[in-house]
């Protein structure tokens, strides 16, 4: 096992990694920005190093500063968390060149999966179904138009380097395609510095189903079941659960086997996620592979009883997976709500601020991952995710009820969050029945926001 791990991240995921290290008796050094000097992970870590000013580009994305700090503090590995440098192939390479183990796959694998148009082609070659679309990238709107004519409208214009739902536009007509193509490309260039675009058929009202996989250095690959992440706003996940109501044991086995095949084709090592969309007829299609730990990993931990970050550390240290595929049993049902510091009533504008009062839910089957504490000043520079509330119960309905009461107990005072919205979703008849798809939030947002208003008036 490693002697000392540099945690190159912040917030709840830095704390999550720190906890896994401490459970394994591994020393930690947290790399932080100026704005995070008093953060909880910094206070709890063995040591911390300031790697730059608040702006992420100068600190959490500053590979040079992070490598220098890791070497100077005698670290032998770097855990990148999610976001920031976690899917930066060059950074992974540079860790390796400097004798530091990057806790994740190699730079080559990250590169291979990071171009989503190329990843599609690789998946097709090993018989993993992909959404009908372009063979690799399309040059311009005219070529996109030809592909769209062949596969049929509606289509989705996507950025090969895309992430976080950016650089993506729907087009229902040739005219819309022409209009939106450049818009999507500009967004991709602005966000990823890469304007390579490709085309997929737009699957109407799909579910987002992803499989967690683990792959060790000995060549063992297992899948830990699925997460249904269909509750999304602007292609960003808000609520995730495991297992999915839409999967039969047969479909789960089939999709799980495809996910393992995908990981094997990629030459995968460490924890990863294979994402699919599932249409109403039970057809599933690969959309992308994420080569890191994901925000929503706790739902898988709850139903499998495995500690995924511990597995990441073990795998990176060269140890074999601690379980075989036959030993993976999904027990009960888990749901996660992402709590963001944002105001749903004001178009979800981020609203960081000082935590004036904090009460976190607890009791059987409730888990909260957060780096908040009373008196903490949530900095305005980063992602608005400030807590994850996870519940685990024997059945889905019991998990829904448990989430309702957990969110009732949760009190974050000092800034707005989307907690009331999440609470109202737990009462929506379609959610309660499990009749969800990626269009659920868009379709029901007005109703849900009205319910939120009413709930908040009642509480005044």
User: What's the closest the beta carbon of residue 241 comes to ligand ADP, in angstroms?
Assistant: 14
Q: How far apart are CA 324 and CA 65, in angstroms?
A: 39
β-partners of residue 285 are 277
Q: Does 287 bind ligand ADP (CB under 6 A)?
A: yes
Nearest to 239, CA basis, from 120, 335, 354, 127: 335
Nearer to ligand ADP, 62 or 438 (CB): 438
Which of 59, 86, 115, 232 is the binder for ligand ADP (CB under 6 A)? 232
164-193 residues near ligand ADP, rule: CB under 6 A:
164-165, 168
Q: Which of 119, 131, 265 is nearest to 196 (CA)?
A: 119
Which of 40, 203, 368, 421 forms a contact with ligand ADP (CB under 6 A)? 203
User: Measured from the CB of residue 163, what is the shortest distance to ligand ADP in angstroms?
Assistant: 4
Does position 43 bind ligand ADP by CB under 6 A? no
d(CA 231, CA 260): 25
131 binds ligand ADP (CB under 6 A): yes
Among residues 103, 84, 100, 127, the alpha carbon closest in space to that of 314 is found at 103
Does position 123 bind ligand ADP by CB under 6 A? no
State yes or no: cis peptide before 154, omega within 30 of 0. Answer: yes
112 is catalytic: no
By the rule CB under 6 A, 202 interacts with ligand ADP: yes
Q: Does 206 bind ligand ADP (CB under 6 A)?
A: yes
**Closest distance of CB 155 from ligand ADP, Å:** 8
The pattern of x and - marking residues 408 through 447 that bind ligand ADP according to CB under 6 A reads ------------------------------x---------
By CB under 6 A, which span of 58-66, 197-205, 303-311, 385-393 interacts with ligand ADP? 197-205
| Residue of 16, 120, 207, 292 with catalytic role | 292
Task: Show the CA angle centred on residue 382, arms to residues 92 and 231, nearest 5°.
Answer: 90
Interface with ligand ADP: number of residues (CB under 6 A) = 19
What is the footprint of ligand ADP within residues 207-226 (CB under 6 A)? Answer: 208
Q: Which residues 325-344 are close enough to bind ligand ADP by CB under 6 A?
A: none
- C-alpha span between 353 and 342 (Å, rounded): 10
235 binds ligand ADP (CB under 6 A): yes
**Which has the closest alpha carbon to 234: 438, 380, 381?**
438
Residue 275 touches ligand ADP, criterion: CB under 6 A: yes
Residue number with CB closer to ligand ADP (111 or 314): 111
Interface with ligand ADP, residue 288, by CB under 6 A: yes
Which positions are annotated as active-site residues?
Answer: 292
| Contact residues for ligand ADP, defined by CB under 6 A | 131, 156, 162-165, 168, 200, 202-203, 206, 208, 232, 235, 275, 277, 287-288, 438
């Amino acid at each position: 096992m490693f002697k000392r791990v540099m945690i190159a991240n912040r917030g709840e995921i830095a704390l999550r990694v720190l906890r896994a290290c401490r459970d394994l008796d591994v020393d930690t050094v947290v790399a932080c920005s100026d704005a995070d000097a008093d953060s909880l992970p910094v206070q709890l870590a063995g040591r911390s190093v300031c790697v730059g000013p608040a702006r992420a580009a100068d600190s959490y994305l500053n590979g040079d500063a992070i490598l220098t700090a890791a070497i100077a503090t005698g670290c032998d590995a770097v855990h990148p968390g999610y976001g920031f440098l976690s899917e930066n192939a060059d950074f992974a390479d540079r860790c390796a060149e400097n004798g530091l183990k990057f806790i994740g796959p190699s730079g080559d694998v990250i590169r291979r999966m990071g171009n989503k148009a190329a990843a599609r082609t690789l998946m097709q070659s090993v018989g993993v179904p992909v959404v009908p679309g372009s063979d690799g990238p399309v040059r311009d709107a005219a070529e996109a138009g030809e592909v769209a004519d062949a596969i049929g409208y509606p289509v989705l214009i996507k950025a090969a380097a895309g992430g976080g739902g950016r650089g993506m536009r729907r087009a229902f007509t040739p005219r819309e395609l022409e209009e939106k193509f450049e818009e999507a490309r500009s967004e991709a260039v602005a966000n990823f510095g890469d304007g390579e675009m490709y085309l997929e058929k737009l699957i109407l009202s799909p579910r987002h189903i992803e499989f967690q996989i683990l792959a060790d250095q000995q060549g063992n690959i297992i899948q830990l079941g699925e997460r249904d992440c269909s509750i999304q706003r602007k292609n960003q996940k808000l609520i995730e659960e495991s297992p999915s109501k839409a999967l039969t044991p047969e479909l789960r086995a089939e999709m799980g086997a495809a996910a393992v095949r995908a990981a094997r084709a990629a030459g995968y090592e460490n924890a990863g996620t294979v994402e699919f969309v599932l249409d109403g007829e039970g057809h599933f299609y690969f959309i992308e592979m994420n080569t890191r730990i994901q925000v929503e990993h706790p739902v898988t931990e709850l139903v499998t009883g495995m500690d995924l970050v511990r597995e990441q550390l073990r795998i990176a240290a060269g140890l074999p997976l601690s379980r075989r595929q036959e030993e993976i049993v999904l027990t009960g049902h888990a749901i996660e709500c992402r709590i963001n510091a944002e105001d749903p009533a004001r178009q979800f504008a981020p609203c960081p601020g000082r935590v004036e009062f904090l009460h976190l839910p607890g009791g059987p089957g409730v888990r909260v991952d957060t780096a908040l504490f009373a008196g903490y000043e949530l900095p305005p520079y980063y992602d608005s995710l400030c807590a994850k509330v996870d519940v685990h119960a024997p059945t889905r309905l019991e998990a829904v009820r448990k989430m309702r009461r957990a969110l009732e107990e949760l009190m974050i005072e000092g800034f707005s969050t989307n907690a009331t919205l999440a609470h109202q979703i737990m009462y929506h008849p379609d959610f309660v029945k499990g009749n969800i798809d990626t269009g659920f939030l868009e379709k029901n947002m007005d109703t849900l926001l009205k319910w939120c208003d009413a709930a908040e008036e009642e509480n005044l």
